[in-house]
Amino acid sequence: MKEIVLTSSQKDALKEVGNICSGNAATALSQLVNRKISIVVPRILFIPLEEVPNVVGGPDTLVAGLVLRVLGDLPSTIIFIFSQKDAVILASLLTKKKVSEGSIIGSLETSALKEIGVILANAYLGALGSFVGMSLVPTVPELIIDMAGSMLDYILIELSCKSDFALLVESEFKEPQTSITGNFFLIPNPAALEIILGSIT
């Protein structure tokens, strides 16, 4: 598998995309939960697909993942990955339920996370779509709670993903009472990857 080596200008272009993604997502999420949310993107980069579990704590780390397909001109798979604890906190922004040490992801939290997933996907894809000049339409997300390694296997096998790389947009969700770390992975098919790389040259 050939490594993706980006030039300084390509890195700058990706950083710009990340900032626009986070701005769009923060605005949309703030409107959804009716409170001020800011989103910071510490880094945005391409990583080998097999590195995804390591980014989120290792293959045996229990995580919550929102998985959805991207239709339109840039066929891809998206996965938002949060620790189970951060997923509960994120859901509570919408459900208004108090989070405790024993809080779990029930049906109410699942619905809230899926709704938030749609909002975030549209915001991130809107920014990326404007950048590459294409229409990107997300499907309804599926929530998976599993080990990070098993989640990657699901993407590769069940979704028949043929990509070697993922675009990682590391995201920190902040509001006065809490901070949540999430990782947005866009996994483009090989043709879509060429389009993205061509757009940031």
| Contact in structure between 14 and 6 (CB atoms under 8 Å) | yes
Phi, psi (degrees; rounded to nearest 5) at 92: -65, -25
Question: How many angstroms separate the CA atoms of 31 and 70, rounded?
Answer: 24
Query: What number of helices (H) and strands (E) belong to the chain?
Result: 6, 8
Q: Which helix (H) or strand (E) covers residue 157, if one does? A: helix 148-157
Instruction: Return the CATH architecture of domain 8-199.
Output: 3-Layer(aba) Sandwich (3.40)
Q: What is the pLDDT of residues 150-191, one digit of tens each?
A: 988 888 777 677 788 898 989 999 988 889 999 999 898 888
Instruction: Give phi and psi for 83, each to the nearest 5.
Output: -65, 155
CB 128 within 8 A of CB 186: yes
What is the average pLDDT value for the chain, to the nearest integer? 88
Domain range list for the chain: 8-199
Could you give the residue ranges of the DSSP H alpha helices within the chain? 8-33, 52-55, 84-95, 107-132, 148-157, 190-199
**pLDDT tens digits, residue range 26-40?**
999 999 989 899 998
Where is mean pLDDT largest: 3-7, 41-45, 154-158? Answer: 41-45
- Is the Cβ–Cβ distance between 84 and 63 less than 8 Å? yes
pLDDT band of 1, cuts 50, 70, 90: low
pTM (predicted TM-score) = 0.89
Please say whether the beta carbons of 68 and 141 come within 8 A.
yes
